Amino acid sequence: MIRRIWTLLKNWRAAKSAFSTLSYVYGEGNCYMDALGGLSEAELEGLLSWLPATGTLVEMGTLFGLAAKRIAEARPGLKIVAVDNFCWNPFGLPPALHREFTEKILHAELKRGQVELCAMDSDRFRATCAFVPDAVFLDAEHSYAAVKAEIDWAKRLGVKTICGHDYGNPNPAFGVTKAVDEAFGAVEVRGMCWKGARP
């Protein structure tokens, strides 16, 4: 018992993240996907309506690959490049286990090559990406600076569909809404999913 408490204390950040998820799920959480960092069915539906049938989608922040899996199923002609540095998950799993779990969930899609998992930071991916994606779904770090940098990159490349998650999220640490509003003349919103229209 004492050893377990010591392990929890040593991994306090991860444990805190798991406690916070559980307190939300048992407390005010009306949508467990909010607490788990994923998309609701309505959000998935909205996102799918924006995505092309073919080409390449870059998903920044794939977490466990749940959205990637659903997109792959609904858009068999679309290749998905899923980028994640495995720095956060709602269960406090250490990065190596988080990655292993995601690879298990995406096993079939990775095997047939429809999904490619890039275990790296969004910054590094953008700096080394050698193709122009047809669509990007931005759902990694949610600070204003991070989202602005990703949107600027996608606009600079001429990506046709730029969308993401957490528009209107009341979390004061999130700067998604400001970054999106500044970047686009108009924004389409489904739940907290957003798609920018060209100014």
Ligand X SMILES: C[S@@+](CC[C@H](N)C(=O)[O-])C[C@H]1O[C@@H](n2cnc3c(N)ncnc32)[C@H](O)[C@@H]1O
- Which stretch in 7-15, 80-88, 108-116, 149-157 sits in contact with ligand X by CB under 6 A? 80-88
Q: Which is nearer to ligand X, 3 or 128 (CB)?
A: 128
Rounded distance between C-alpha atoms, residue 65 and residue 86, angstroms: 11
Q: How far is the CB of 185 from ligand X (least distance, A)?
A: 25
Give the total of residues touching ligand X (CB under 6 A). Answer: 21
Q: Is 67 in the site for ligand X (CB under 6 A)?
A: yes
Q: Is 153 in the site for ligand X (CB under 6 A)?
A: no
Q: Which is nearer to ligand X, 98 or 183 (CB)?
A: 98
Q: How far is the CB of 117 from ligand X (least distance, A)?
A: 11
Q: Is 174 in the site for ligand X (CB under 6 A)?
A: no
Is the four-CA dihedral 194, 58, 61, 34 of positive or negative sign? positive
Write the CB contacts of 156 (distance below 8 Å, at least 6 apart in sequence).
none
The total of other beta-carbon atoms located within 10 Å of residue 164's CB is 27
Q: Encoding tokens for residue 61?
A: 């922040």
Q: Is 133 in the site for ligand X (CB under 6 A)?
A: no
Residue 162's DSSP bridge partners are 136
Please tell me whether residue 117 adopts helix, strand or coil conformation.
strand
Rounded distance between C-alpha atoms, residue 45 and residue 198, angstroms: 22
- Contact residues for ligand X (CB under 6 A)? 37-39, 59, 61-63, 66-67, 83-89, 121-122, 139-141
